[in-house]
Amino acid sequence: MNERGVGYIADTLVFALLISFASLLLVGVSPTDPKIESTRYAASFAQSTLLALQHSTADEFGGFEYRLGSPGFELNVPVLGDSTKRTLHHKTLAQLLIEDALLNLRVEVGEVELELSKPNQNMKIKLREFLKRVLDELVGGRFGYRLTVKSSPVELDFARVYFEGDIKNLDEGAQRKLCSETIVATLPIPQDELAQLIREVLGISLEFEPDPAVEITLELWSS
């Protein structure tokens, strides 16, 4: 083989090297960032879920009912019959989520959170179980989720009062928060009743009417 032949081979090898470099670039480069796509889908999914929860009733998922009492002790006295039983079949899932938050009054004095006696614990536990089952069916399997319901805080001279509840299903595989969507709903009880509820728990009289709006936030996580 003469020198010209060696030159041709060298040129071809350089050319082949350039082609393989281009191939590697093409394989590595993604036309769109997959994170953007998954985030966009998750945001749309979360928004649709929050809106759909405002329409569906508990009845659709077998209904929700509970007996008055506390954990381990139910007022299941034959004489009382079904008078201790409460059925909430007609309530929408969003209303039940807000009720769950209403059962969880939080009072902060300074930076310290006060431990309050929690009435209706039995309902709270059953409601949580029910709502988690519904959300697992709707969202679980595709995404990890955290659904938070929080009222606007009522600022008092000495304390900060708000209602809060959250239901989540974040397994160890949950890697990254994809999105957080929020809708604002109104509390299903009138303002004066809400003020009375706070009065009963704190033992003080309120001379204002707290804002009855609540934020329902759904965070979706990649699983």
Partner 1 sequence: MEQFSVGEDLFATLAVVGLLVIFIAALAHSYHIYAERKSAYESFDLALNTAEDIKNRVLAASPGSIEWAADKLEDYSGLLAQQGIELRVEIRSLGGEVLHAYGSEQNQLDGYFSPPASASLPVAIVRGQESVQLCELIVRVWRG
Binding site for partner 1 (CB under 8 A): 1-2, 5, 8-9, 12-13, 15-16, 19-20, 22-24, 26-27, 29-32, 37, 40-41, 44-45, 48-57, 60, 137-138
Give the whole-angstrom CA distance, residue 165 versus residue 155: 19
Coil, strand, or helix at residue 201? Answer: helix
Q: How far is the CB of 158 from partner 1 (least distance, A)?
A: 40
Q: 26 or 112, CB closer to partner 1? A: 26
Q: How far is the CB of 128 from partner 1 (least distance, A)?
A: 19
Burial class from Cβ neighbours inside 10 Å (0-12, 13-18, 19+) for residue 2 reads: exposed
Q: 5 or 78, CB closer to partner 1? A: 5
Q: 118 or 133, CB closer to partner 1? A: 133
CA 137 to centroid of chain Cα atoms:
14
Q: How far is the CB of 191 from partner 1 (least distance, A)?
A: 25
CB contact set of 208 (below 8 Å; sequence gap of 6+): 154, 195
Q: 53 or 198, CB closer to partner 1? A: 53
